Structure 1
């Protein structure tokens, strides 16, 4: 059923839980899995004296390489094929959700498995939700894994 699974990861516990689910699905279906780390350099402080966005960018790419190396080790352990990717948002308005969509479309993903922090109210309004934004624009099925879900229940589209 699934041949190509995309799993956005960011190093958080929630994305690790979602990645483990994606890994299990990929193993069961013999699917390829692409862990995806998206670098999004914040513009906050861009006008501050001495601010060098390249330092932040380099640190995010290094973190992405570390997170992807961990994901690849788990994939190899479980005999799941695929290659992790690191992509960067565009400063011209390409946010994380659209970067995930771009990769999902380029790779013809059958399924995207991602974590959601489950924020509500003011926190959701202020912080937004990459998962919610992606779910609204997705062109393939999306499996959302909630934070702290101990029952194994998930929300799917």
Structure 2
């Protein structure tokens, strides 16, 4: 194992995932990359026309400033986590798109030997209806995945 990719969402429980993934990587003598995915950021900047009697925005357009700000927040988040690990060799990667696809795509590009993810305590019904990022990655991965349980 030479490269460990640690997937982080924007959640306080990600500290557990980052620490456990980092500890595992160090025991294996592996390089570490932290990845965070902005899934379809265009939703945050859509201005809707009036609907159901609500006089909202008049045009459908993506606010580029909102997307830029979200990207900067996410980059800052990744850099802060990397600094918190206190290891200058830790790298970061910000990806876009569907989370599981983006993580698997970057894992292949970076040639990761293992992916580390957190698993949240979602209800069984929610998992059946929506699935989880971890389960989608497990279905399609060709490399080992280390799951860190983090309870809400």
TM-score relative to the length of structure 1: 0.77
Gaps of 5+ in 1: 90-94, 150-157
Q: Distance in 2 between matches of 1:139 and 1:131?
A: 14
- Identify the residue that residue 99 of structure 1 maps to in structure 2: 102
- Identify the residue that residue 115 of structure 1 maps to in structure 2: 118
Aligned residues of 1:10 and 1:64 also touching (Cα < 8 A)? no
- Provide, for residues 105-153 of structure 1, a one-character-per-residue CA deviation record: whole Å limited to 9, x for no partner: 011111100011131233324443111111111110001111229xxxx
Aligned residues of 1:33 and 1:81 also touching (Cα < 8 A)? yes
> Which structure 2 residues correspond to residues 8-157 of structure 1 after superposition, within 5 A?
8-40=7-39, 41=41, 43=43, 46=46, 48-49=48-49, 50=57, 52-75=62-85, 77=86, 79=87, 81-89=89-97, 95-148=98-151
Which stretches of structure 1, 4 residues or more, deviate above 6 A after TM superposition?
A: none
Larger radius of gyration: 2
Specify the SS of the correspondent of 2:13. Answer: helix
Task: Please report the RMSD computed on the Cα atoms of aligned residues, expressed in angstroms.
Answer: 2.4
Q: Distance in 1 between matches of 2:131 and 2:42?
A: 15
Gaps of 5+ in 2: 50-56
**Aligned pairs, how many?**
141
Aligned residues of 1:110 and 1:140 also touching (Cα < 8 A)? yes
